[in-house]
Chain A
Amino acid sequence: QKEVEQDPGPLSVPEGAIVSLNCTYSNSAFQYFMWYRQYSRKGPELLMYTYSSGNKEDGRFTAQVDKSSKYISLFIRDSQPSDSATYLCAMNPQGAQKLVFGQGTRLTINP
């Protein structure tokens, strides 16, 4: 069993829809949670960074962490075609330098 599970998709939704992306994990020591967006043939771009449980909002993006369920989510409101990319969740424990990534979800927003 992988430490971090993420549905690879592909996920295709119409423009303007609310998108929900999720990851589950098994290591209860994970404390720091990140979401990256990666366009084709580019490096990952950090979207959201969350410590421990709770919600964080930045514009159209909301990150949620539920440590009791070992479940994290990224919501994208009013999705745009420019949001079409692969979304990677990543996490690590306190004091660890190694990020553990999910497999990435390929998302397409259709105009």
Chain B
Amino acid sequence: DTEVTQTPKHLVMGMTNKKSLKCEQHMGHRAMYWYKQKAKKPPELMFVYSYEKLSINESVPSRFSPECPNSSLLNLHLHALQPEDSALYLCASSQHVPRNTEAFFGQGTRLTVV
């Protein structure tokens, strides 16, 4: 099973709303990632969690708040977003370094901020 499951698939939210994106994997991977992808662009890394600890924050605005409750789950809490934050948000997982292995992506949450 190489599945990374993301919910919801689609989300429309207002600029004053608070919402959360969820990601789950059961491959025993200890590294989990949030990426943002705009149309016709490659994914851009936002956050990396290693062994449930935040290891990389790519200078992401504080209106995006990640959380890793356990080794299988990853959340992204959203608050006071802007219309330009509309994008496909992708979760990925891989085995932890130094055993670099392939990274598997979920199907994404398509977020629209109105």
Interface positions of A (Cβ within 8 A of B)? 8, 31-32, 34, 36, 41-46, 49, 88, 90, 92, 94-99, 101-104
Residue pair B88, A97 in contact (C-beta under 8 Å)? no
Determine the interface band of chain B, counting residues with CB < 8 A from chain A: 20 to 34
- Chain B residue with minimal CB distance to A42? B107
Residue pair A32, B100 in contact (C-beta under 8 Å)? yes
Q: A43 vs B23: C-alpha distance in the bound complex, in angstroms?
A: 13
Q: A34 vs B88: C-alpha distance in the bound complex, in angstroms?
A: 21
- Chain A residue with minimal CB distance to B10? A41
Q: A104 vs B43: C-alpha distance in the bound complex, in angstroms?
A: 10
Residue pair A34, B102 in contact (C-beta under 8 Å)? yes
Chain B residues with CB below 8 A from A46, complex form: 2, 102-105
- The verdict on B55 contacting chain A, using a C-beta distance below 8 Å, is yes
Decide if the interface of chain A is mainly helix, strand, loop or mixed: loop
Query: Given A94-B98, A94-B100, does the pair A102, B42 have CB atoms closer than 8 Å?
Result: yes
Among A44, A96, A102, point to the contact of B105 (Cβ < 8 A).
A44
Chain B residues with CB below 8 A from A98, complex form: 45, 48, 56
Q: In B88-114, which residues have CB < 8 Å from any A CB?
A: 88, 90, 94, 97-98, 100-108, 110
Residue pair A97, B105 in contact (C-beta under 8 Å)? no
The 3 A-B residue pairs with the shortest CB-CB distance, nearest first, are: A101-B42, A49-B102, A43-B105
Chain B residues with CB below 8 A from A96, complex form: 97, 100
Q: A95 vs B56: C-alpha distance in the bound complex, in angstroms?
A: 13
Chain A residues with CB below 8 A from B45, complex form: 98-99
Chain B residues with CB below 8 A from A94, complex form: 98, 100
Q: A45 vs B103: C-alpha distance in the bound complex, in angstroms?
A: 9
> What per-residue 1/0 map shows which CB atoms of B30-49 lie under 8 Å from chain A?
01010000001111010010
